[in-house]
Structure 1
Amino acid sequence: MPRAIVCLLDSVGIGGAPDVAAYGDEGANTVGHIAEWAAAGKADRPGLRAGPLHVPNLDAMGLGAALKLSTGAVPPGLSEHPKGGRFGVGREISRGKDTPSGHWEIAGVPVPFEWGYFPRQQPAFPPDLVAEFCLLAGLPGILGDRHASGTAIIAELGEEHIRTGKPICYTSIDSVFQIAAHETHFGLERLYQVSRIAFDLTEKLRIGRVIARPFVGETADTFRRTGNRRDFAIAPPEPTLLDRNAQAGNQVFAIGKISDIYAGSGVTHKVKGTGIPQLLDRTLEAMEMADDRAFIMTNFVDFDSEYGHRRDVAGYAAALELFDSRLPELIAAMRHDDLLVLTADHGNDPTWPGTDHTREQVPILVFSPALLPGEIGIRPSFADIGESIAAWLGLGPGRHGKSFLQASGGVIR
């Protein structure tokens, strides 16, 4: 009986979406620019990586071909001739370029409303919101109160945070309220508690997520974020693929930050993991445990959080090569009728100005030993991914999207 595995390569975009100009991201191309920089030697870093981008397994699944379909060009080191599976391009119809928007639409539910955002000014948060937050959370005040990179603002304000007990609160172009606090000096559970309070206050503003960002260390030079991040997110407005599969009595494994993104809805097995190697290990473990018709979804956040937002081209290239090197393990662990989907939720071009996501199309790379190879074209909505997986698992059709695994005779195996 079939199962489905989705590896969400967070921020691995492949060129601007049709509405890219509205977001100020004309020319963004996450994978394409990484490949160009690597071929030119700009992404070399001694001890980490050197030379052209080397992702032969992703390329064999159709990464280069998807880039050609998306942008009209094949970046250096990639090929327009895949060796198996199906490839295509996904276009998002939800507004914005936020993590929840992309994930929900991939699971069959485009976002039907505009997210709330905080302005690019300082202070960024409404004074009455901050006052109520501090009162309800018992805080002496907050630090930050502006748009910022998470690692930079922790280095800047971490020592003051330890001295004063004031959490570091910041935002970005995304619909998010982030709270950074020290795991021991402030307390991890206390960070979660105040983040929940912030979520209750910001939900009415349609702020998509409040993110608890714990860190450790004692000085600006030693501060580092830990794997105990927690996202408090608005729930999807209607049942997603996760809900539909769980309601059918099947398992849903949510690995990494997936459960938080969907507010826990439809999740039967929540699995933690930090870093690409560990998340791959957890995915393989889930494949060993998963029953027939199980759905496994893993978010590989490091591409976005560690390399995209930090504009680290060499690190991003090395992360892609690391994932690629272990992709054969996933394929080897598949049953004959398992379906593997590799895709992304948005872009985050590390060569782009600023530290924000970029409005891009995404690759859709699909493989199963039981699936005929071919091109699936440019899909008008990420929801086509969710509907294709639903069809593979034998679920009824949802309200949005159309399966690319169906023909007149049904699902192509």
Structure 2
Amino acid sequence: MKRVFLIVLDSVGIGEMPDAKAYGDEGSNTIKAASTSKYFSMPNMKKLGFFNIDGMDCGEGIDNPTGAVARMHEASKGKDTTIGHWEISGIVSEEPLPTFPEGFPEELLNEFEKRTGHKVICNKPYSGTDVIRDYGKEHVETGALIVYTSADSVFQIAAHEDIVPIDELYRYCEIAREICTGKYGVGRVIARPFEGAYPDYKRTSRRHDYSLMPPQITMLDQLKEEGYDVLAVGKINDIFAGKGVTKMTRTKDNADGIEQTIALMDEEFNGLCFINLVDFDMVYGHRNDVDGYAKALTYFDEKLPNILEKLGDEDILMITADHGCDPATPSTDHSREYTPLVMYGNKIKAGVNLGTKDTFSDISATILDYFNVPVKTKGTTFLQQVLENEQ
């Protein structure tokens, strides 16, 4: 029995990529920004070699790390969650997903209003917390749906749970997913439920993402086809529209995601456990909360020993990210950054530094190689460079 635990620290970038200026992200460095907080502490990741990664501009590397590391370059055109996770799983996107900085076109919203029976308010790029503050009262009074976007390729629908029951909100998102195709094919339609009374509205944990179907086969598809288990924790199932997943586990926040992962480590399965920890991005990066971001990284680091001690002899742990979201820049959007890769397990050579890899897809190629599945996706395996012993 072999298992790979692939944890995505959502938005934990490690410094601007060469083309960051083209994305408006020159100078972005998420991990360096978080490291300026007095609450930042990652001694366990340091032991694995996290601060030995090429180009790391904070922390100090050590002489004898216990893990293997690499710096990952995004080959896709974009900096969002969907494209980042797709690339980790073997798809390199040549074109960015569509964005709507001026709001969605009238013909799209007219169709949405017709099919849902609700008027739309807002229709602008907006912060998720600000939009319910500014439009929540009107929504509660009129029943109109708050539709908004961001710099990312998203169609977001916010509604108060007392006004629009959660199942109804999900149905409206399914309608939006059906009509957001072709030139309107956003990466994700997102349900953003909230609760409370004006002016103290709060978003609830019942967010739900409806992603585009991956346009090509992924690592998940290949593993499932070969009879391996593919466990999805957090929003992984949503990102891949359920494709290639054999078991789904929803989570409320980072802490719950970590605990669910630890619980799954006690189960017998043969294959991949793919985990997304979203709070770094959703709760702290997008809100420019440096201290909150640092606390979240510190919490993950404190829990890391619980994960490491549960690894079996044939298990491999991989920790990476999908993009950046620098909490210290004026922007509240994702940033075009390199991402880290840290690997650990009895099978992994300690102290290996693979330098900078050309694409996130090398991760999927390596995982498929570990399970002896022919690689049909993008990417090049580096398995033999990090294995302690040949298979």
Give the 3-state SS of the residue equivalent to 1:57 in structure 2: helix
The residue type paired with residue 163 of structure 1 is E
User: Is the counterpart of residue 214 in structure 1 residue 202 in structure 2?
Assistant: no
The residue type paired with residue 294 of structure 2 is A
Using the TM superposition, give the Cα deviation of residue 309 of structure 1 relative to its aligned residue in structure 2, in angstroms.
0.1
User: Is the counterpart of residue 70 in structure 1 residue 55 in structure 2?
Assistant: yes
Structure 1 distance, partners of 2:385, 2:299, is: 36
Q: For residue 99 of structure 1, what is the aligned residue in structure 2?
A: 81
Give the 3-state SS of the residue equivalent to 1:307 in structure 2: helix
The residue type paired with residue 69 of structure 2 is F
Structure 1 distance, partners of 2:390, 2:329, is: 40
What is the aligned counterpart of 1:86 among 28, 53, 68?
68
User: Is the counterpart of residue 268 in structure 1 residue 253 in structure 2?
Assistant: no
Contact 1:116/1:206 (8 A) holds in 2: yes
Using the TM superposition, give the Cα deviation of residue 128 of structure 1 relative to its aligned residue in structure 2, in angstroms.
1.4
Give the 3-state SS of the residue equivalent to 2:214 in structure 1: coil
Which whole-Å deviations, capped at 9, do the CAs of 1:144-203 have from their partners, x for residues lacking one?
A: 110110011112211211111011111111111101111222111111111111111112
Using the TM superposition, give the Cα deviation of residue 408 of structure 1 relative to its aligned residue in structure 2, in angstroms.
12
Structure 1 distance, partners of 2:18, 2:87, is: 17
TM-score of the superposition, structure 2-length normalised?
0.96
Structure 2 distance, partners of 1:302, 1:82, is: 31
274-283 or 397-406, larger mean C-alpha shift: 397-406
Structure 2 distance, partners of 1:156, 1:322, is: 32
392-401 or 84-93, larger mean C-alpha shift: 392-401
Which whole-Å deviations, capped at 9, do the CAs of 1:258-317 have from their partners, x for residues lacking one?
A: 00000100011010111111101111122222423x200110000000000000000000
Contact 2:85/2:322 (8 A) holds in 1: yes
Using the TM superposition, give the Cα deviation of residue 206 of structure 1 relative to its aligned residue in structure 2, in angstroms.
2.2
Structure 2 distance, partners of 1:349, 1:61, is: 23
Contact 2:347/2:389 (8 A) holds in 1: no
Using the TM superposition, give the Cα deviation of residue 409 of structure 1 relative to its aligned residue in structure 2, in angstroms.
10
Structure 1 distance, partners of 2:332, 2:63, is: 33
320-329 or 223-232, larger mean C-alpha shift: 223-232
Using the TM superposition, give the Cα deviation of residue 79 of structure 1 relative to its aligned residue in structure 2, in angstroms.
2.7
Structure 1 distance, partners of 2:79, 2:386, is: 35
1:238/1:314 Cα in 2 relative to 1: closer, same or farther (>3 Å)?
same
Using the TM superposition, give the Cα deviation of residue 82 of structure 1 relative to its aligned residue in structure 2, in angstroms.
5.4
Contact 2:349/2:386 (8 A) holds in 1: no
Using the TM superposition, give the Cα deviation of residue 80 of structure 1 relative to its aligned residue in structure 2, in angstroms.
4.7
369-378 or 326-335, larger mean C-alpha shift: 369-378
Structure 2 distance, partners of 1:81, 1:10, is: 28
Contact 1:106/1:385 (8 A) holds in 2: yes
Contact 1:65/1:82 (8 A) holds in 2: no
User: Is the counterpart of residue 395 in structure 1 residue 377 in structure 2?
Assistant: no
Structure 1 segments of 4+ aligned residues over 3 angstroms from their partners: 407-413
Contact 1:253/1:268 (8 A) holds in 2: yes
TM-score of the superposition, structure 1-length normalised?
0.91
The residue type paired with residue 243 of structure 1 is D
Q: For residue 54 of structure 1, what is the aligned residue in structure 2?
A: 41
Using the TM superposition, give the Cα deviation of residue 127 of structure 1 relative to its aligned residue in structure 2, in angstroms.
1.1
What is the aligned counterpart of 1:344 among 315, 321, 325?
321
Structure 2: give runs of 5+ residues left out of the alignment: none
1:161/1:377 Cα in 2 relative to 1: closer, same or farther (>3 Å)?
same
The residue type paired with residue 345 of structure 2 is S
Which whole-Å deviations, capped at 9, do the CAs of 1:107-142 have from their partners, x for residues lacking one?
A: 1111233311102x3xx1111111111011111x11
Contact 1:70/1:361 (8 A) holds in 2: no
Contact 2:14/2:30 (8 A) holds in 1: yes
Aligned pairs for 1:144-293 (under 5 A) are 144-204=122-182, 205-221=184-200, 223-292=201-270
Q: For residue 126 of structure 1, what is the aligned residue in structure 2?
A: 105
Contact 2:349/2:388 (8 A) holds in 1: no
1:83/1:329 Cα in 2 relative to 1: closer, same or farther (>3 Å)?
same
The residue type paired with residue 214 of structure 1 is P
The residue type paired with residue 240 of structure 1 is T
Q: For residue 17 of structure 2, what is the aligned residue in structure 1?
A: 17
Using the TM superposition, give the Cα deviation of residue 368 of structure 1 relative to its aligned residue in structure 2, in angstroms.
0.9
Contact 1:64/1:81 (8 A) holds in 2: no
Aligned pairs for 1:294-373 (under 5 A) are 294-373=271-350
Contact 2:347/2:388 (8 A) holds in 1: no
Give the 3-state SS of the residue equivalent to 2:165 in structure 1: helix
